[in-house]
């Protein structure tokens, strides 16, 4: 985070979201790894299926969101709970070193994985000396 | 789920609100059961529901494939263990590292009226659902009366 490359958007934005969406929204736990090739992001979103997930890049802000289905909770009455259920959303500001056209994402076992390749020019290049 | 449903409660947009407030109400209420190690923050998080006579557990296990999970029961104790997938080779630096990693094992004490030996489990999208059916002897029964 030293270079401020990935900053989570301000808390204000999140509050606005909460007014316009039904139910409460939770921030998933996220890992972000930077390699030479790019950034890799993992977000824990248990209960979200492939069709209910959105990865969106607008300008340099990437938004990941997932909707949980309440259908599976029909006819269940809670007797003891440790976690609440809600939709997920997280938003990160990316540096322009990311090639927006080559972003890819996949979902497995409730974990979203997003590949954010760096643009070619940003990769360190060894310059041969003759 | 709720006892009474009418008016605004029928709006599907409120389904999530309703579920959330119901879960919230049940937070920290042990419903008379001693479940073993308890509380928010215990990993992995587990919600317990009643479905008719049965008990349904929903445990959040993101990142665990069904084949890496093992469920065992002994008496009224149900144990769930998870073997973490191999870590991806980290030839870089982490900007953010919030996700839980590593193996886990957790035991849950079930109410007496359910039979862990007949439990069934399913894992979908990182949520493990375990259904423990009620014992036959606790189900309501009609007792026939003979006249003499």
Q: For residue range B128-148, what is the model confidence (pLDDT) as tens digits?
A: 999 999 998 887 888 899 987
- Distance of residue A126 Cα from the nearest chain B Cα, in angstroms: 18
Of A1, A24, A83, the CB nearest to B47: A83
Q: Which of A5-14, A78-87, B106-115 has the lowest mean pLDDT?
A: A5-14
In a domain, A1, yes or no: no
CB of A84 within 8 Å of a chain B CB? The answer is yes
pLDDT band of B42, cuts 50, 70, 90: low
Q: Could A46 and B99 be called an inter-chain contact, meaning their C-beta atoms sit closer than 8 Å? A: no
Cβ-Cβ contacts under 8 Å, B47 against chain A:
78, 80-83
pLDDT given for residue A80 in this prediction:
85
- Distance of residue A55 Cα from the nearest chain B Cα, in angstroms: 17
pLDDT over 60 (residue A5): no
Write down the CATH number for the domain with range B34-85+102-138.
Answer: 2.60.40.790
In a domain, A103, yes or no: yes
In a domain, A100, yes or no: yes
In a domain, A128, yes or no: no
In a domain, A67, yes or no: yes
Residue with the larger pLDDT of the pair B28 and A109:
A109
Segment A41-45 mean pLDDT: 95
Segment A73-85 mean pLDDT: 88
Cβ-Cβ contacts under 8 Å, A109 against chain B:
61-65, 123, 125-126
Domain borders along chain B are 34-85+102-138
Scored b (16 or more CB within 10 A) or e, B92-116 reads eeebbeeeeeeebebebebbeebbb
Scored b (16 or more CB within 10 A) or e, B125-134 reads bbbbbbbbbb
Q: For residue B140, give every residue at least 6 positions away whose Cβ sits within 8 Å of its Cβ, in sequence order, or none.
A: none
Nearest to A5 by CA among A126, A114, A88, A122: A122
Which of A9, A84, A91, A92 to probe by mutation at the B interface, max B CB count within 10 Å? A84
pLDDT given for residue A96 in this prediction:
67
pLDDT given for residue A13 in this prediction:
45
pLDDT given for residue B79 in this prediction:
93
Cβ-Cβ contacts under 8 Å, B61 against chain A:
46, 109-110
A·B CB contacts under 8 A: 164
- C-alpha to C-alpha distances, B100 to A44, A63, B42, nearest whole angstrom: 9, 22, 12
In a domain, A2, yes or no: no
pLDDT over 80 (residue A102): yes
CA distance A76 to B53: 11
Strand partners, B81: B70, B105
Q: Would you say the C-alpha torsion B33, B36, B37, B43 has a positive or negative sign?
A: negative
In a domain, A14, yes or no: yes
Nearest to B40 by CA among B64, B68, B60, B55: B60
What's the domain count of chain A?
A: 1
Residue A24's Cβ-side half-sphere holds a number of Cα atoms within 13 Å equal to 14
CB of A24 within 8 Å of a chain B CB? The answer is yes
pLDDT given for residue A122 in this prediction:
61
pLDDT digits (tens, 9 = 90+) for B57-74: 999 999 999 999 999 999
Write down the mean pLDDT value for chain A. 81
pLDDT given for residue A119 in this prediction:
85
Which of B5, B10, B15, B16 to probe by mutation at the A interface, max A CB count within 10 Å? B16
CA distance B50 to A53: 29
Of A31, A45, A108, the CB nearest to B94: A31
- CB-count burial class (<10 Å; 0-12, 13-18, 19+) for A61: middle
Q: Could B23 and A85 be called an inter-chain contact, meaning their C-beta atoms sit closer than 8 Å? A: yes
CA distance B27 to A101: 44
Contact map slice: B 27-66 vs A, CB within 8 A: 27, 29-31, 33, 35, 38-40, 42, 45-52, 55-56, 60-65
Give residue A106's domain range: 7-72+80-120
In a domain, A130, yes or no: no
CA distance A24 to A88: 9
CA distance B15 to B5: 11
Segment A83-105 mean pLDDT: 87
Q: What is the pTM of this model?
A: 0.78
């Amino acid at each position: 985070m030293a270079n401020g490359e990935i900053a989570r958007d301000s808390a204000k934005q999140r509050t606005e979201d909460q007014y316009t969406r039904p139910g409460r929204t939770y921030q998933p736990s996220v890992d972000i790894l930077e390699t030479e090739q790019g950034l890799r992001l993992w977000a824990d979103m248990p209960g979200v299926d492939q069709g209910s997930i959105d990865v969106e890049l607008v300008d340099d802000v990437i938004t990941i969101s997932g909707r949980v289905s309440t259908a599976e909770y029909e006819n269940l009455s809670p007797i003891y709970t440790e976690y609440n259920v809600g939709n997920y959303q997280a938003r990160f500001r990316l540096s322009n070193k990311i090639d927006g056209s080559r972003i890819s994402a996949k979902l497995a076992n409730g974990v979203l994985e997003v590949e954010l390749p760096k643009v070619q020019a940003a990769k360190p290049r060894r310059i041969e000396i003759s | 789920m709720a006892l009474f449903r009418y008016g605004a409660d029928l709006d599907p947009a409120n389904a999530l609100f309703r579920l959330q407030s119901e879960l919230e109400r049940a937070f920290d209420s042990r419903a008379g059961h001693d479940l073993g190690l308890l509380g928010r923050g215990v990993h992995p998080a587990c919600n317990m529901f009643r479905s008719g006579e049965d008990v349904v557990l929903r445990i959040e296990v993101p990142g665990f494939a069904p084949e890496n999970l093992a469920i065992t029961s002994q008496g009224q104790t149900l144990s769930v263990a998870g073997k973490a997938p191999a870590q991806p080779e980290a030839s870089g630096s982490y900007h953010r590292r919030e996700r839980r990693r590593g193996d886990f094992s957790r035991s849950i004490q079930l109410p007496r009226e359910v039979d862990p030996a007949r439990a069934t489990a399913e894992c979908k999208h990182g949520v493990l659902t375990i259904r423990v059916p009620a014992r036959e002897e606790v189900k309501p029964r009609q007792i026939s009366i003979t006249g003499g």
